[in-house]
Amino acid sequence: MANRTGSQRTSQPREQGKHRALAEHERQTACGRSAKVVVTSCTEVKAGRQLEMSELLAYAREFREAVLQGCSSERMCAALSAPLHAVLHARGTASELVVSDLGECEHVFLRLPDGLVLDPTADQFNPFSREKLPGVYFGAPALIHKDAIPWPGGQEWHQLMRELKRLYPALDAAAVGRTVSLTLRKLPPGLCEFKKVTER
Spatial separation of the C-alpha atoms in residues 142 and 133, rounded to whole Å? 9
Burial of 2 (0-12, 13-18, 19+ CB in 10 A): exposed
Spatial separation of the C-alpha atoms in residues 3 and 10, rounded to whole Å? 10
Q: Check if the beta carbon of residue 80 is closer than 8 Å to that of residue 120.
A: yes
Of 103 and 149, the one with more pLDDT: 149
Mean pLDDT of the chain, nearest integer? 79
Spatial separation of the C-alpha atoms in residues 147 and 173, rounded to whole Å? 29
- Taking CA atoms, 40 is separated from 19, 37, 53, 112, in Å, by 7, 9, 17, 19
Q: What's the predicted TM-score (pTM) here? A: 0.74
pLDDT at 47: 56
Asked whether residue 38 carries a pLDDT value surpassing 80, the answer given is no
Nearest one of 160, 144, 4 to 67, comparing CA atoms: 160
Spatial separation of the C-alpha atoms in residues 19 and 4, rounded to whole Å? 23
pLDDT at 122: 96
Using DSSP's 3-state secondary structure scheme, residue 24 falls into: strand
pLDDT at 53: 87
Spatial separation of the C-alpha atoms in residues 25 and 14, rounded to whole Å? 19
Asked whether residue 17 carries a pLDDT value surpassing 60, the answer given is no
Of 3 and 198, the one with more pLDDT: 198
Q: What is the DSSP string of 92-146?
A: T---EEEEEE-SSSEEEEEE-TTS-EEETTGGGGGGG-SS---SSEEES--GGGT
3-state secondary structure string, 61-89?
HHHHHHHHCCECCCCCHHHHHHHHHHHHH
> Kind of pairing, strands 149-150 and 106-111?
unpaired
pLDDT tens, position by position, 82-127: 999 999 999 999 999 999 999 889 999 999 999 999 999 999 998 8
